[in-house]
């Protein structure tokens, strides 16, 4: 079975500090991994993806994520958090050759001024 786990429902970080939002996955074969952000009363917006190649991928708004195959993880990171980063973050996976997406339960990030 394919799945995504986001072990933290809530992450709080002070403005200017680095942030990490965790994601682990389970998929048959090679994974295609994604991070999306959801602001209140809005749809999801794409942040970044890992398909192949460099394990560190960079995305929108200064976010990056590191793919770790041995730990089946794809943690989202940002060196310096902004108050405007406060939102709900979703990790998603699709298996190579598959057409179905699996999303995590979401992590609510609050950046404290």
Residues lying near other proteins in the complex (CB under 8 A) are found at 6, 32, 34, 36, 41-46, 49, 51, 90, 92, 94, 99-106
* For other proteins, the closer CB: 74 or 90: 90
Q: Which is nearer to other proteins, 31 or 111 (CB)?
A: 31
Q: How far apart are the first and last CA of the chain?
A: 41
At 40, give phi and psi (nearest 5°).
Answer: -50, 130
Q: Are the C-beta atoms of 46 and 63 separated by less than 8 Å?
A: no
> Nearest distance from residue 59's CB to other proteins, in Å?
11
Quote the CA–CA distance of 24 and 72 in Å, as a whole number: 6
CB of 113 to other proteins, least distance (A): 26
- Output the smallest distance, CB 14 to other proteins, in A: 26
At residue 31, the 3 state secondary structure works out as: strand
């Amino acid at each position: 079975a394919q799945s995504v786990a986001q072990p933290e429902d809530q992450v709080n970080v002070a403005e200017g500090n680095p942030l990490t939002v965790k994601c682990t996955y389970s998929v048959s074969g090679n994974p295609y991994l994604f991070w999306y952000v959801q602001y209140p009363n809005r749809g999801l917006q794409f942040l970044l993806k890992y398909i192949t190649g460099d394990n560190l991928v960079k995305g929108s708004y200064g976010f990056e994520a590191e793919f770790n195959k041995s730990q089946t993880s794809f943690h989202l990171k940002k060196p310096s958090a902004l108050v405007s980063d406060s939102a709900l973050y979703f990790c998603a996976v699709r298996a190579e050759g598959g057409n179905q997406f699996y999303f995590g339960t979401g992590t609510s990030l609050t950046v404290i001024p």
